[in-house]
Amino acid sequence: MNSRRTRSQTQVLEQLKQIKGAISAQALYLQLKQQHVSMGLATIYRALESLKLEGALQVRTLSSGESLYSLAKEDTHHLTCVRCGSSTVMAECPVHGLEEHLTESHHFQIFYHTLEFFGLCEQCQTH
């Protein structure tokens, strides 16, 4: 644990540890409020940003512009339909070798990566 974390950052991180999957800042705010944790939405955004910069969180931005936050635990790969918004997780990682190459060639510490393809799902192609 990073000893320089604020109380808000610690509370946000602990809440995210209890969540399976990703969550928006607004949904996180509502969950904390239901648990009687008094924290403003702006404070949650600041805590999420700090945790992201530390490498503790990963962020996925949906086609709607909404950001979803989750613990930085694994790389994610999705096929996302631009019509209905459905998102399918891809099991394989077509860029794993590229990540290793970039780490070595650019001396860049990579926390995680996301890969997302946008198009039409099978169901939306038939409509």
Annotated binding site for Fe cation: 113
- Per the annotation, binding residues for Zn(2+) are 81, 84, 121, 124
Position 72, amino acid: A
Give the helix/strand (H/E) hosting 51. Answer: helix 41-54
- Per the annotation, binding residues are 81, 84, 113, 121, 124
- Cβ partners under 8 Å of residue 108, min gap 6: 102
Q: Within 13 Å of residue 50, how many CA atoms lie on the same side as its CB?
A: 17
